[in-house]
Amino acid sequence: MHWRQVPYSEIEALDRHTTVLILPIGAIEAHGPHLPTGTDGVISEGMAEAAVRQLRPHGLTGLVLPTLDFTVAQFARNFVGTLSFSAATVLALLADLGQILTGQGWQKLAVANSHLDPAHLACLRQAFANYPLQVAFPDLTRGRLARQLTPEFQSGACHAGQFEGSMVLARQPQWTRPAVAAALPDNPHSLVDAIREGKSHFGEAGGPHAYFGSPRQASACEGEVSLETLGRLLVESVLQLA
Ligand SMILES: [Zn+2]
């Protein structure tokens, strides 16, 4: 169930104890010359929908909030097409959202985030540290979670490559450019290493075309598996809430 696809009366009728709001968070940023700028939002929505399905057997209803695509995207700031907002703007928006949701009696929020820009993650950690709702926020950069994702993701060469490209192929194939992807050489530079070394944008990190990993290896099949895994990680995080 998606918040913006149903009348208010159906939202109002939901049980506040057994409904989990799911907030997909993406970004609008360069994802190579072969994937859409809205790649992360597409992935996070797929993660949210997989979580809705996987919550049902636990007696929980997932209600997917409108996707937050306007956020901090510092690493991709030098590419036209990227819309990078300040952390202060995002913090203010998330604080408002918390007030609005608690005002309506909602209690549980699950954060489906697939945008891993370090400044964005810092912003989310700050925003949800003292949130008025209970928050399930699986941080995919943590080792325990990262180890459940694909080898490319774990290698750190994980922006607009096989991992992300596969999930966009599974959800929005018409938004991809397969002929362009097929001609792109692999870029094994690790963003994790680059961040550790203090690099602050894709160019510095060895990604002059805003992609890392292996775009040509992407497949819808792999994408479906990854989305189910992301949904499971989100559900596991929800089930840990009191
Ligand atoms: Zn991405």
Distance 140 CA to ligand 1 centre (A): 12
Q: Please report, rounded to a whole number, the percentage of residues in the chain having pLDDT higher than 70.
A: 100
pLDDT at position 189, please?
96
Distance 150 CA to ligand 1 centre (A): 15
State yes or no: pLDDT of 16 exceeds 90.
Answer: yes
pLDDT at position 143, please?
85
Phi, psi of 229 (to 5 degrees): -65, -45
Reference 237, options 58, 77, 115; nearest CA is 58
Tokens of 217: 């290896």
- Cβ contact 47:173 at 8 Å: no
Distance 9 CA to ligand 1 centre (A): 35
pLDDT at position 47, please?
98
State yes or no: pLDDT of 32 exceeds 80.
Answer: yes
Q: Which residues surround ligand 1, an ion (CB under 5 A)?
A: 39-40, 164
What is the number of alpha carbons within 13 Å of residue 63 lying toward its C-beta? Answer: 23
Distant-in-sequence contacts of 78-81, Cβ < 8 A, 24+ apart? 78/201, 78/202, 78/203, 79/29, 79/30, 79/202, 79/210, 81/28, 81/29, 81/30, 81/37
State the CATH number of the domain containing residue 35: 3.40.50.10310
pLDDT at position 140, please?
92
pLDDT in tens, 137-180: 999 988 889 999 999 999 999 999 999 999 999 999 999 999 99
Distance 195 CA to ligand 1 centre (A): 15
State yes or no: pLDDT of 242 exceeds 80.
Answer: no
pLDDT at position 15, please?
98
Question: Which structural domain range is residue 189 located in?
Answer: 3-239
pLDDT at position 34, please?
98
State yes or no: pLDDT of 214 exceeds 90.
Answer: yes
Q: Please state, as a whole number, how many other Cβ atoms lie within 10 Å of the Cβ of residue 126.
A: 13
Distance 107 CA to ligand 1 centre (A): 29
Taking the C-alpha atoms of residue 226 and residue 43, their distance in angstroms, rounded to an integer, is: 10
213 secondary structure, DSSP code: B
For residues 88-94, give the mean pLDDT.
Answer: 98
Taking the C-alpha atoms of residue 112 and residue 103, their distance in angstroms, rounded to an integer, is: 22
For residues 75-79, give the mean pLDDT.
Answer: 97
185 secondary structure, DSSP code: P
Reference 74, options 242, 205, 226; nearest CA is 205
Distance 121 CA to ligand 1 centre (A): 13
Average pLDDT, the chain: 97
State yes or no: pLDDT of 109 exceeds 80.
Answer: yes
pLDDT in tens, 128-138: 999 999 999 99
Q: Please report, rounded to a whole number, the percentage of residues in the chain having pLDDT higher than 90.
A: 98
- Cβ contact 26:44 at 8 Å: yes
For residues 100-107, give the mean pLDDT.
Answer: 98
- Cβ contact 188:154 at 8 Å: no
Distance 108 CA to ligand 1 centre (A): 26
Number of domains in the chain: 1
Q: Is the pTM of this model over 0.95?
A: yes
Taking the C-alpha atoms of residue 205 and residue 164, their distance in angstroms, rounded to an integer, is: 18
- Tokens 């979580």 correspond to 51
Distance 236 CA to ligand 1 centre (A): 22
